[in-house]
Amino acid sequence: MHRRALGQGLEVSAIGFGAMGMSQSYGPNPGDRQDMIGVLRHAVDQGVTLIDTAEVYGPYDNEELVGEAIAPIRNRVTIATKFGFRFADGRAQGVDSRPEQIRRAAEGSLQRLGVDSIDLLYQHRVDPNVPIEDVAGTVGELISEGKVQHFGLSEASAATIRRAHAVTPVTAIQSEYSLWTRDPEPEVLPACLEFGIGFVPFSPLGKGFLTGTVTPDSTFASDEIRARVPRFEAENLRANQAIVDHVRDLAAQRGATPAQVALAWLLAQHPFIVPIPGTRRRERLDENAGATAVALSADDVADLNRLVDRIGVAGNRYDDAGMAAVGL
């Protein structure tokens, strides 16, 4: 797999791996921990070098899983994790990016991941009660101390990115971005281009929708994230089906899968974009990695660029609370 440069000289595989779903959000957690470790190591064998986790995933379980998986292959991977929440009774209780909390989170992540330094440390969500300059300054101190190598932000606005970058250079921005979630395009992606910052789309396959495996008749368990996302309500799924139908038709013409076309479209947007699809299955991982070999023509990309404008997207990507926490 070819590599791409994020910001500040950090090079990673063109497609990374989002590990969150191995510990939460997509139905019952896998019963076989060793199988998930095997999937993570298989990702690295396929050329994936960027693995994304966070303290809040579990909480904590996902970092421990990733730490165990990478222990024998640490020199082959770039580990990204995130801070930004406070916890009580084993659950996140709201955002918290006070400097002392950032330091506590970083120390905990170092221990759970079993590493001497975190390659890329993101603020998971912007904290409206803490100036971003204080956040950037604290991460800058951790970088100076060698505990962190690179600074990132997740779901931050262009204005926030600009202020943070002026204090500590930002390496990557992580936000939801896909064929049916285009929010970063007007302001955030231009800011990344201006400042030489990488962009890491999470949910690049629309939480599974763009794979073509979700239908208007799909149902989701109450503990699944999609059960709370308006976009996955039956009426909205019916309205949105035209999007995935179009992607499926194009994929058939190109000898690819819908997921591969969706990822190839992202890769074609900018050379500093590195999607992080997640999966629990080796065959899906292989499919996602194969997206780097899918050649979309300029006409294909232009057609997909206009897809949402032509068809529209029914339903928000988060519930009301989730949308309120997004800084874009």
Tens digits of per-residue pLDDT, 231-249? 999 999 999 999 999 999 9
The residue to which tokens 């990557």 are assigned: 172
Contact (CB, 8 A) for 282 and 37: no
Asked if the peptide bond before residue 59 counts as cis, ω within 30 degrees of 0, the response is yes
How do the domains of the chain map onto residue ranges? 3-324
Report how far residue 290's alpha carbon sits from residue 1's, in angstroms, rounded to the nearest whole number: 9
State the CB neighbour count (10 A cutoff) for residue 265: 25
Task: Classify 122 as helix, strand or coil.
Answer: strand
pLDDT score for 322:
87
Catalytic positions, please?
57
- How many other C-beta atoms are found inside a 10 Å radius of the C-beta of residue 217? 8
Question: What's the pLDDT score for residue 328?
Answer: 59
**What pLDDT shows up at residue 44?**
98
Burial (CB < 10 A; 0-12, 13-18, 19+), residue 72, is exposed
Q: Residue 327 pLDDT more than 70?
A: no
Fold of domain 3-324: TIM Barrel (3.20.20)
Per-residue pLDDT reduced to its tens digit, 46-82? 999 999 999 999 999 999 999 999 999 999 999 999 9
Distance between alpha carbon 301 and the CA centroid of its chain, in Å? Answer: 22
Around 117, how many Cα atoms within 13 Å sit in the side-chain half-sphere? 16
Place 325 in a pLDDT band, splitting at 50, 70 and 90: confident
User: Is the pLDDT reported for residue 320 higher than 90?
Assistant: no
